[in-house]
Each structure stands twice: as C-alpha cells, then as structure tokens.
Amino acid sequence: MLKLGLNIDHIATVREARYRGLGHGEPDPVAGAIVCEAAGAHGITAHLREDRRHIQDRDVWKLRDVVRTRLNLEMANVPEIVAIALKLKPGIVCVVPERRQEVTTEGGLEVAGNLAAITDLCRTMNDGGVQVSLFITPDPPQIEAAARAGSQFIELHTGAYAEAFPDETLRAEQLDRLIAAARQAHALGLGVNAGHGLNYENLRALHQVPHLVELNIGHSIISRALTVGLAQAVTEMLALMENYRG
C-alpha cells in the first residue's frame, strides 16, 4: 500500500500571515493534522525551518503529543534544529536543503558533496532512535551517497517531473529518471519516498515508479481543502493512490 504523508506547513503559512509572533492564531496546523489522520493520512510532515516562517516550535511539540500515525520532521542539518529533533524524537526526519530566500524547498540535498557531514548526522539521529530520510534529486551519485551515508530512506524530489508534466515528452523523460532512481535505491537497500509538486493531476502517472513507500504532499491538498474541506481533500488524494502495485 502506498502511504500518504501529509505536509501541514501551508496551514501554518496562512496562520502566520495574520498572527506571526503572537503565539496563537488560526488556522491551527495541529488541529489540521488531527483531521488529516482521521481522514486516512498515514503520517504527518512538518518542516521546522531556521527562520520559523510557518511551523513554530510549539507546533512540533504539540504534534508529537497528538500524532498517532508517524511524525516526519523536515529539517536542515544545522545544530539548533538537530538538537530539537533529538529531544522531540519524531518517527523520522527528512533532511532538506534550506535557503532563506526560497519560497519553499527548491532543490535536492547535496549528499555526495557533503558525505562526511551527512554521515555524521545519520549516525547521530540513528543513535537517538530516529530514522533518517534524505531529500534528493533522482540522480545516481546522490542515491549512492545516500546509501553510503547510512540513511534508511530517500525522498525523491519530484519537482522536475511536476514541472514537466504538461509536456508528454518531457514527462516521460522525468518518469524514466524517477523509475531508474527508485530501482537503484531499492537495490541499495533504501526505502523510497517521493514528493514535491505532486497534485491531483500528476499523481496517477507516478504509479509507474516502482518501490515507492510514501508520498509527501502538502500544497495541493491544502489548496483543494479551501474548496471541499480538508477531510474530503485527503480522501480524494488517497483515492488517486489506490491500486499502486509498486
């Protein structure tokens, strides 16, 4: 069964647009997480950024108390956030690159060029009882480096696929990249997740990619929820994920 990890960052983005710095406000991402789980989401993802532009520290601690599936903490490899993750002990962390000027995470983590640092992080997290996923582009050197670093999972960056989707030829090229990457990662013993830019239009074609464990999706579901409600938006996405054969 293909699992849905639901990213609730954009609920917090709406809250922070009005209530930034006040320590309260609406909509509440924690309440949203509860709704998503009740609707069938298999996990909740939240990105505690260094600049705290959306998810706040209080959110991740509340999420740790209420999430009954699995909490996935997206994070950069920086000492402050690493220390929080070790205390929080989510089910898994997904290590992502982070730049202050970006709107959202734009690219994959450079694992091959920072192997020693990423290996140390994986060891630290694993010793603390936390699994590690690395958010990477579907490129062979990065996948090989992720396996060498000691991560348990990779999350394939599907942004290029999502951008190419309207063009049938480009879509096929990007699907081939993802298929090859998933096969390579699986052969190296890595669990394979995927995410970024996935939506109600482009998800079904992703069924061609083998060995997928979980898809991490946020923006599209939160956007759809403005029209049909959060529970219904989750239900509709789960329906598109049915019958995945891996």
Residue 152: alpha-carbon gap to chain centroid: 14
CA dist 14 to 20, 45, 100, 108, 196, Å?
Answer: 10, 17, 18, 25, 19
CA dist 215 to 56, 80, 87, 117, 136, Å?
Answer: 23, 27, 26, 26, 14
Active site residue 74: yes
Contact assessment for residue 192 and residue 170, using Cβ atoms and an 8 Å cutoff: no
Active-site hit among 42, 54, 157, 196: 196
Active-site hit among 42, 47, 54, 157: 47
Matching residue, tokens 């450079």: 110
**What's phi and psi for 71, nearest 5 deg?**
-95, 125
Continuous segment of H or E residues that includes residue 216: strand 212-217
Active-site hit among 16, 37, 74, 98: 74
Q: How far apart are CA 54 and CA 9, in angstroms?
A: 6
Active site residue 47: yes
Q: Which residues are annotated as catalytic?
A: 47, 74, 196
